[in-house]
Amino acid sequence: MLIVKVGGGDIDLDAIAVDLASLARPFVLLHGANKLRDNVAVALGHPPTVVESVSGYTSVLTDEHAIDALMAAYAGIRNKRLVEALRRAGVNALGLTGLDGGLVQGVRGPGIRTIRDGRKLLLRDLSGKPRRVDGRLLRTLLGEGYAPVITVPIVGEDGGALNTENDDVLALLASDLGASDVVSLIEAPGLLSDRRDPSTVVRDLESADLEAWEGRVEGRMRRKIRALRTLFELAAPPGPVVRIADGRTRQPVSEALAGAGTRVTLSPGRQLAVPTSADQDPGHALHATSSAGWLERQRVHELDPYGKRGLTLVDGTGATVRDIEGRVYVDCIGGHGALALGHRHPALAVALADQAERVWSVPGSYGSPARARLLERLHEALPAELDRTFLSNSGTEAVEAALKIARSHTGRSGFVAALRGFHGRTMGALSVTSEARYREPFEPLLGGVRRIPFNDRDALRDAVDEEVAAVVLEPVQGEAGVHPADPGFLQAAREACDAAGALLVLDEVQTGFGRTGRMFAFERAGVVPDVLCLAKSIAGGLPLGATAVRRGIELPLGAHGSTFGGNPLACAVGRATLDVLLDTELLSEVEEKGHRLEALLVRASLPVVREVRRVGLMVGIQLRLPVRPYLARLQEEGVLALAAGSTVLRLLPPLIITGEQIELVARALVRVLGEAPEASSDAARDRSLESRGDPYAPGQGSEPGPALLSRP
C-alpha cells in the first residue's frame, strides 16, 4: 500500500496525477492547501492569524471564519481539482474529508498557548488531534477500485469540524492501512543538513534519528518530523519506507520511490520478536500495533502482579477509552474510581499544561502556589473541623499517614477495622485490610488490629477501649462489593471513639469527590471523622493522596514525609478538579444517573442477579455465579467493568458519563447477564490470551484472564 501526502504549496497537481496513474498500484492521496486557504480567507474578508506557540510551533488560529476558508480551500477547490486531475489521468479518484462518514475522528485541543507582550495567553480555537482513522471505509473503497483523495477537516467528538495537521493524519493512515511506502512531498529536495544549501540532502535516516532532527528544524517542518516519529512508533516491523522528497519535479512520486530525497526507515532496535503460540499460523508474529504485541513487549521486563485482560489502551476521552486496534469502550472501571471527571477533561488538561510550563517538583520544605491553591479549595469543601492536610501520592499512602498520626497523637498502638474492609497494600494499610490472601504472604504486619463485622454496632462498642489508637472504616466498602455503612454504625463509631479517646479514621479513597452523589460519603451519616483519607479522583487520575486531620492533631517535624507528595502538577489538576465539582451542577446529577442505571437493570429481572447495591455511581451487582466470564463478555460488548469478590460485578464509571452511555452500558449488561452461563464461560475461555489471573476478581485462583479479540 502506497500513501502519498502533498503539501499545500506551489506543486503541480497535474504532474502528480499523471505520475500516480503511471504507477498502476493502489494508493491513498492526502493533501493540504494552506496557501490557497490563506488566499480564500483574505478574499472572504477574514485574513488568517498566524501564531507561534510557546513550544516554537507555528499555527493558523482556527475560528469559525477560518473553518469556512478551510472547507472552501481544502475540501472544495484543492480536493476537487486533484480528483479532476486524477480522473483525467484515468484514475477512479474519490474526494473525501475526515468529516465525511467520520473517516478521521479527533479530539478538540485545549487551545494554543502563545506569548503576547510578555504575557502567556491561551488562544482557544477549533483545532484538534486526530485519534482514529476508519480504515474499514478506506479498505472498502480501495477494494472497489477507488483512489481516496483525503483532506481536512476531521470530525470532533460533538460532530463538528476540526482543523488538524495532515501529517498527524498521515501517521494514523500509515498504521491503520499497513502502508509499505509513504511519500511526503514538500517544497525542498528533502531534509537538508544545511538549510541554505539544497545540495546537502540527507539521503538515509533511521527513525531513531528523528528526535535529533526535530530539534534542528523550525516551524511546520518540526511538526512534520514529530508526526513521522509517531508514524514509526505506531508501525509494525519492518515498518514502511518513508520518502521526503521534492514535489515540484515532473514525476515527484516515481522519483521519490526510486531514491530521490530523504529515505527514512524503522530503526532495527524497534524490531520485536514475539514467540508464536499453537493457535497462530506458523511463522506469524504479533507486532506492536496490536494489543497482544504491546502486552508481550511489556511482559519482557515487567514484574507483573496484576494479570492482563488482553487489551492495550492508547486513548481516552470522557467516559470512553480506545484500544490500539481502534475499538472504543465505555469505561466503567474509571481508573478504579480515580476518574470522576473522565479521561482528559478539558479544564484539567488546561491546568496541567499551564503548570507544566512552570515547575514540576517543589519539596515540602518550600512554598508552592499550586499546593496552596489546592489546599485552600479542598478545605472549602471539607468541614471546618478538619483544618489541615498532609499531601502524598496515593490512597495507601494516605492511610499510612493516618495510622502514624493516630499512634503519634494518642500514644497507643491498637486499631479496630471492619471485616471485608480494604485500605491498601503497603505494610501499615495492609495490616488493617481484612482479606487474608492480601495479608498472609507478608505477615507479621502491625499487631494489635481487632476486626469486627461491618455494621455491627455492639461489636464495635465492645472493641474500642483505651488501647485503641483509631477505628479505621470505609463509609462504603468498595472492594467487598459495594456495601454501604449504616448511618447509625458510623454514628456509633464516632461515639465509641469519643468515649475511649481514640481517633475515627474514615477511608474515602474511593468514595470521595462525588462518587456517592455527595462530595464525601460521610456527609450522609452526619459524622465528621478525626482523620480523613482521600486519593483517586482528587486529581483526575494523576497520583495524589491527602490525609486531612481535625484541629488540634499534630504531626511533629520530621515524623513523616513524601518526596513526590503534593507535587505541583498533580496539585494544579487537583485544584481544577475541585473547581469543576464545586462550581458546576455535576454532583447533583450523580444520583439520578446511578438510579437510571439501577432501574434499567432491575427492570430486566435477570435470573443470574441476586441484588443490585448502589450508592451514587458506585454500583455492585451481586451474581449467583462467578463474575469472571461475564467481565470477558462485557468487554466484547464494549464495556469495561470490575469484579469485587468472586461474584460481584462492580461499576465505577466517570461521573460525567452521559445518558446515552448509561443506556449502552445497561443494554450490554442485560444482554450479557441474560446469557446462559455455559455460553459465557466458553466465550471467556476461548478468548483468553493470558495465563495469569485477574487481580480484581478475588478468589479466582490462576484462571486465565479474559481478553477481547473482536467487537461486533
Give me the half-sphere count of Cα atoms (radius 13 Å) on the Cβ side of residue 710: 3
pLDDT tier, 263 (very low <50, low <70, confident <90, very high otherwise): very high
User: Span 154-178, mean pLDDT?
Assistant: 91
Of the candidates 303, 326, 355, which is a domain's last residue? 303
Q: Is the pLDDT of residue 289 over 60?
A: yes
Same-domain status, 517 and 608: no
DSSP bridge pairs for 621: 612, 649
pTM to 2 decimals? 0.62
Same-domain status, 333 and 405: no
Domain that holds residue 181: 2-270
pLDDT tier, 309 (very low <50, low <70, confident <90, very high otherwise): very high
Same-domain status, 299 and 333: no
Of the candidates 553, 583, 613, which is a domain's last residue? 583
Same-domain status, 591 and 579: no
Position 333 in a domain: yes
CATH code, 494: 3.40.640.10
Position 540 in a domain: yes
Same-domain status, 263 and 281: no
CATH code, 260: 3.40.1160.10
In angstroms, rounded to a whole number, what is the distance separating the alpha carbons of residues 450 and 43?
A: 79
Same-domain status, 65 and 167: yes
Position 703 in a domain: no
Position 701 in a domain: no
Same-domain status, 298 and 266: no
Coil vs helix vs strand at 275: coil
Position 190 in a domain: yes
Same-domain status, 506 and 535: yes
Burial category of 589 from C-beta neighbours within 10 Å (exposed 0-12, middle 13-18, buried 19 and up)? middle
Same-domain status, 203 and 321: no
Percent of the chain with pLDDT over 70: 91
Same-domain status, 329 and 371: no
Position 705 in a domain: no
pLDDT tier, 67 (very low <50, low <70, confident <90, very high otherwise): very high
Interior angle at CA 601, CA 598 and CA 602, nearest 5 = 85
**C-alpha cell read off for 492:** 456509633
Provide the pLDDT for residue 676: 65
Provide the pLDDT for residue 208: 87
DSSP bridge pairs for 263: 204, 243
Same-domain status, 331 and 276: no
Position 21 in a domain: yes
- The residue behind cell 474515602 is 508
Number of domains in the chain: 4
| Chain centroid to CA 225 | 25
Rg (CA), the chain: 29
Provide the pLDDT for residue 690: 35
Q: Is the pLDDT of residue 76 over 50?
A: yes
Position 708 in a domain: no
Q: Where are any strands of DSSP class E within 299-369?
A: 313-317, 320-323, 328-331
Contact 218, 56 (CB under 8 A): yes
Q: Is the pLDDT of residue 640 over 90?
A: yes
Same-domain status, 562 and 618: no
Instruction: Write out pLDDT tens, residues 644-696.
Output: 989 999 999 999 999 999 999 999 999 999 986 554 444 444 443 333 333 33
Coil vs helix vs strand at 330: strand
